[in-house]
Amino acid sequence: MPRGTGDNLMKSIFFYGTLRHVPLLECVMGRVAGDLDIKPDVLPGHRIMAAVDGPYPLLSVDPDSDATGVLVRGLTADDIARLDYYEAGFAYDLQRLTLQSGAAADVYVPLHHMASDGPWDIVGWQQDWAEMSVAAAEEVMGSFGHVSAQEIARRFPRIRARAWSRVLAQSGHHSPDTLRGKVEIVERTRAYSDFFALDEIRMRHETFDGVMSPVLTRAVFVAFDAALVLPYDPVRDRVLLVEQVRLGPIGRHDPACWQLEPIAGMVDPGEQPPQAARREAAEEAGLVLDHMETVGAGYASPGSATDFFHTFVGICDLPDDVAGIGGAEAEGENIRSHLVSFDTLMGMAETGQIGNVPLTMLIYWLAHHRNRLRARRRP
């Protein structure tokens, strides 16, 4: 727990970074900003810098600079506890400093030296990262009082990834002619959260005859957006498939625990799906894709999970020596790649040897577009 929170019942804190964004501050504090005494102020002799490892700021001593921010007065012990909980995951501590106005205030400063990457700008951060940060803070603060701040810090990369999926969901344009009816969430409880999450939901929804359904009890598996790419060499007329052990078959007690798949991976926060597809092709198989064909995007299992797949066919060279063992060791990946001719691939699909639905979809998309792709690469 950061120091400096135990003396007075009411405190003042100077915010120079992301908590200047009112929706984020309201989420962390658990109350509306109209209840708070917020005034602009400046911290002399300090500079606001961008952290190398994330979209958040650092405060460093610089006699020739001033840090612009806001002073929030009259914070209660509960307010401080919520702020400490949120900030603990970012390795910050409270220090008492004097502002340009003459007011003394506590300031969250880094516990140890962190690498910086140039000046930090709140306007740019709000444009690129604010929506995701508020969504992540909702999950973090939902664990306040139940999960330790240290445990939240460990889970935070996955929390941010789930939050980024919420951001990407707002740009979807699928299902334009379906009902845009009312959905009422009566209660939503996070039953499990770590690598993935599980929410128990009690809900009502509008029916096709215009009335509301009775309250239904359901559960949803909360995961991430993922990019899937099938590498295809139109000159050699073959693809590259990857093989790795999978938890789905293990959980289903399927003896075929190693599965053939397209290259796939989570869309990282701040990343767009095509960028993720190219990155994963390099990480899993050492491939550089010439260009990508967009196949489609959609839910893998909309009745039970938030998994959303962005699928591509990646045009590239696939020489004989490209297959091998790969994967990101830091992520515990152990991946074997296979070169498969198009004719063999179609035979596998037709005889049911492919146990992966996204791969099957990509195979038949490739079959439909194969002549066009091959004609483009002919001399």
d(CA 340, CA 358): 17
Residues annotated as catalytic are 331
β-bridge pairing 11-15 and 104-110? parallel
Enclosing H/E stretch for 251:
helix 247-252
The owner of tokens 């006699």 is: 63
Q: Which of 378, 242, 233 is nearest to 319 (CA)?
A: 233
| 3-state helix vs strand vs coil in the chain, percent to 5 | 30, 35, 30
Contacts of residue 214, defined as CB under 8 A and 6 or more positions apart, other chains included, come to 204
Contacts of residue 39, defined as CB under 8 A and 6 or more positions apart, other chains included, come to 70, 71, 73, 101
C-alpha distances (whole Å) from 299 to each of 39, 45, 117, 166 are: 45, 51, 37, 13
